[in-house]
Structure 1
Amino acid sequence: MISLSRSVELSLGSISSSKMRSALTTMGIVIGVAAVIANVSLGASFNQFFTNEVGAVGSNFIVVTSQNVNVFFENQLHVIKNSPGVVSVSPIKQQMAKVTYVSTSRQIDIQGVTQDYEQVANLNMESGTFLSDQDNYVAVLGSDVANTKFDRNISINNPIEITFRKQDGGVVIQKFIVKGIIKNPTTAFVQTGVEPNVRIFIPLSTMNSILGEKDYGGFFVKAASLDVVKATRDGIDRNLGRSLGVPSREFNNPDTKPYVLVDQLEILQQTDQLSAALTSLLTSVALISLIVGSIGIMNIMLVTVTERTKEIGLMKSLGYTKRDILFIFLIESTVVSIIGGVLGIIMGILGAYVVNSVLNLPNVFPMMQILMGFIVSIIVGLVAGLYPANKAAKMDPVEALRH
């Protein structure tokens, strides 16, 4: 049987003798593999982007929100603080209110929090400092509120007026001094309901004093780690249910609870499903290109067999067996696929890098999937070259020489 090195030498000679034809054949594989690699890399980059976005909102967070007023009080705050796995917790309360700065008024979400909120929500200050539990009539603004909502930018020590609406319909207008401005966390895509850049934060005690209320709207909780978020959430759920008198027989029915819990893992699972669906869609489209490329290889190899009929007859007359001819043509199609696969990987990585740069996505190149794309390109070459190689191997040498 002919050696592998001799088969490769003959295959490279055939490829180099018809450079244009070989280049066009290779191009089909290059485009197919590049599309698969680029789309797989984009899917992984989107997944990392979603993870970063959720992580920017807070570390290992659990958000507890009440369904009605007068549900959460100081007792529930202590219940959550004493739940296993809880590192810190900030009660929260929010109201959409009219905010006036100089002569401009806007409707902005006002959120009452404690000083622990800064740690729980992973906040970074652009200027000034965050609230402390000793503060009264001061406010911390999200970056968008300070820089884009009003006709003029708001700086620290500037006064703003907030118009609160009480439950009895009364209105209270109160002046606050801006203590700090929060740096924009750039959570542009994944919205969790706790984005700080579009909110104004004030001390919760001050907010309740103005409204004449004592309850909390919910809690923003930080667990010890992402690994224990699920267990911590379950513990908070059980303890809150008991403190609020939720019957144990109906505890698994969410409709019986006057509150809702959302955690970071739940949001990450949703984004993982989204990125997986996106990756599957993009990869499916790219695989079509790879199939088209394989058809191109088969067509060109069939043409090659026809063009080299006399050469095949001569090779058989010189002692080359059916197996030798089959092997030579299979090696030729495989070499084309390998060249196309290598070039496709390079183009795919470069293409993904360019798209990531344009979309401001992290660069993630999963090596296992890239290796799989290369292996698939080789398999495609083998499968596409099998029929033409078999056709060449079955040729009658006398008929081939007459051709």
Structure 2
Amino acid sequence: MTGLVKENIKIALGSIKTQLLRTILTIIIIAIGITALVSILTVVSALENTISSNFSMMGANTFTIRQYELEVRIGNGGRRGEREIVNPIISYPDAKTFKEKFNYPFTTTSLSFTATPGAQVKFENKKTDPEITVLGVDENYAANSGLEVATGRNFTGFDIENNNYVCVVGSDFEKGLLKDVNPIDKVISIRGAKFKVIGVLKEKGSTFGNSQDLRVLIPIQIARSVFTQPNINYNVSVMVDKKELLDAAIDHATITMRQIRKQNPVEDNNFGIVRSDELINQILSLTKVLSASAWIIGIITIFGSSIALMNIMLVSVTERTREIGVRKALGAKRKTIAFQFFTETIVIGQLGGIIGIILGITIGSIFASVLEFDFIIPWMAIIAAVITSFVVALVSGLYPAIKASKLDPVEALRYE
């Protein structure tokens, strides 16, 4: 049986050489469908990996209190002519009071806000472009946000309570402004205020083109005094040490925040509470649309390639009618003839699949690199491509193989 398979593969490759142009065109059509499928699935896999790695650092036991839920709700179902509900911002008194009152067991509360997304930082006679994000934070921010200090130390409660002019910088500072120097205890300037560097964060990379390492963390009260602006929306995050207490902690946080906002029992919450795992699931659900699009595009293209493959095999059967007659006259059985043509179809299909996989991964990795996603080898896409190309060859080669096996040897020998 093994010898027969090897012989059929040799015959298939020989036939491919004699019909090189038609075969190349068929392989290209199959490859285009597989390329479209694999490239999109590669980008989707890279996107999912990026989202998971960036949000998993927050942990599944973290939730945030924000101005809105994941989606802005519209009054009474959002019927035409009705006013959109506008929730008040999370003000500093709200956030500070919540941290003081929320005392649920095994929880840690953090307050923070984005002071500016475009600050210029100076060190001695050097300065950065105005692209540094400055965050006002407390001592719990790093732990609740999944940040790690690679060099030096994090803020302490003493730093925050005494408004010490200290800061923790992102890892990119070691490659730029503080390159070739020990950053610890160096003094940098932001808007004229001088801060001593006490720590450097572990590298996080980029998310959707935005570097997570071009940032400076400073004590929240100092940030409020240096960056004075109206209507600052503060972030409140709560980390629960025990997962089984997460739902109860959220309920307790909801009650606490409603009391702070002085809401009546019949009123809806005028704030949102978002769990980190819920946020991940919401975002990852969007990638399913891209995956579905990949399959639709791939199936349409592959459907066309399967028709082309079937046609080329039917033409091959017609052109090799005398050859089939000779083989049958020499004792070849119907299943042997059918297996020969079937093997030829499988070879063409797999060649198209291999080329499509290579092109798909290449194109997908290029797009992932441009979009700054974390590329991983898309094994599911590769498996899907191999199975798809095999099914295309299976369906396309079945009818031509049966037709070839049923040819009458006498009529085949008389065919011109």
Match of 2:17 in 1: 19
| SS of 1:91 mapped into structure 2 | strand
Match of 2:70 in 1: none
Query: Structure 2: how far apart are the matches of 1:106 and 1:380?
Result: 55
Query: Structure 2: how far apart are the matches of 1:111 and 1:210?
Result: 10
8 Å CA contact 1:126–1:181 kept in 2: the answer is: yes
2:391 alignment partner AA: I
| SS of 1:134 mapped into structure 2 | helix
Change (3 A) 1:391 1:231: farther
Q: Which moved more, 1:8-17 or 1:382-391?
A: 8-17
Query: Structure 2: how far apart are the matches of 1:219 and 1:120?
Result: 10
1:177 alignment partner AA: F
Q: Describe the superposition over 1:5-34 as per-residue Cα deviations: whole angstroms up to 9, x where unpaired.
A: 636624532432442636624454455435
Query: Structure 1: how far apart are the matches of 2:245 and 2:27?
Result: 51
Match of 2:142 in 1: 118
| SS of 1:72 mapped into structure 2 | helix
2:240 to 213, 220, 223: 223
Query: Structure 2: how far apart are the matches of 1:344 and 1:210?
Result: 54
Match of 2:280 in 1: 268
Q: Which moved more, 1:388-397 or 1:111-120?
A: 388-397
Q: Describe the superposition over 1:364-383 as per-residue Cα deviations: whole angstroms up to 9, x where unpaired.
A: 33544433322221111121
Q: Which moved more, 1:300-309 or 1:285-294?
A: 285-294
8 Å CA contact 1:130–1:179 kept in 2: the answer is: no
8 Å CA contact 1:85–1:232 kept in 2: the answer is: no
Query: Structure 2: how far apart are the matches of 1:333 and 1:123?
Result: 54
Q: Describe the superposition over 1:313-369 as per-residue Cα deviations: whole angstroms up to 9, x where unpaired.
A: 334445556555444422331243345445654565566556656665434335444
1:285 to 287, 297, 322: 297
Gapped regions of structure 2 (runs ≥ 5)? 68-87
Change (3 A) 1:373 1:100: closer
TM-score after normalising by structure 1:
0.71
Q: Describe the superposition over 1:282-331 as per-residue Cα deviations: whole angstroms up to 9, x where unpaired.
A: 44334444334323322321221121011223344455565554444223
1:46 alignment partner AA: L
1:142-157 alignment to 2 at 5 Å?
Answer: 142-143=169-170, 157=186
Change (3 A) 1:197 1:38: same
1:83-98 alignment to 2 at 5 Å?
Answer: 86=107, 88-92=108-112
1:72 matches 2:94? yes
Query: Structure 1: how far apart are the matches of 2:351 and 2:119?
Result: 65
| SS of 2:207 mapped into structure 1 | coil
1:98-109 alignment to 2 at 5 Å?
Answer: none
Q: Which moved more, 1:346-355 or 1:34-43?
A: 346-355
Query: Structure 1: how far apart are the matches of 2:320 and 2:130?
Result: 79
- After TM superposition, give the deviation of residue 217 of structure 1 in Å: 3.8
Query: Structure 2: how far apart are the matches of 1:228 and 1:368?
Result: 36
Q: Which moved more, 1:182-191 or 1:302-311?
A: 182-191
| SS of 1:185 mapped into structure 2 | coil
Match of 1:138 in 2: 165
| SS of 2:19 mapped into structure 1 | helix
8 Å CA contact 1:229–1:263 kept in 2: the answer is: no
1:158 to 179, 182, 187: 187
8 Å CA contact 2:193–2:226 kept in 1: the answer is: no
| SS of 2:374 mapped into structure 1 | coil
8 Å CA contact 2:132–2:214 kept in 1: the answer is: no
1:389 matches 2:401? yes
Query: Structure 1: how far apart are the matches of 2:212 and 2:238?
Result: 15
Match of 1:178 in 2: 196
Match of 1:189 in 2: 208
1:298 matches 2:310? yes
Query: Structure 2: how far apart are the matches of 1:347 and 1:94?
Result: 42
Match of 2:71 in 1: none
Gapped regions of structure 1 (runs ≥ 5)? 163-173
1:309 matches 2:328? no
| SS of 1:77 mapped into structure 2 | helix
| SS of 2:323 mapped into structure 1 | helix
TM-score after normalising by structure 2:
0.69
Match of 1:201 in 2: 218
Match of 1:336 in 2: 348
Query: Structure 1: how far apart are the matches of 2:48 and 2:297?
Result: 19
Q: Describe the superposition over 1:197-226 as per-residue Cα deviations: whole angstroms up to 9, x where unpaired.
A: 445522438858999xxx994422223378
8 Å CA contact 1:85–1:224 kept in 2: the answer is: yes
Query: Structure 2: how far apart are the matches of 1:9 and 1:224?
Result: 65
8 Å CA contact 1:33–1:348 kept in 2: the answer is: yes
Query: Structure 2: how far apart are the matches of 1:216 and 1:388?
Result: 69
Q: How many residues align?
A: 378
8 Å CA contact 1:50–1:190 kept in 2: the answer is: no
Q: Describe the superposition over 1:158-199 as per-residue Cα deviations: whole angstroms up to 9, x where unpaired.
A: 36465xxxxxxxxxxx944333465463343288xx968445
- After TM superposition, give the deviation of residue 234 of structure 1 in Å: 4.4
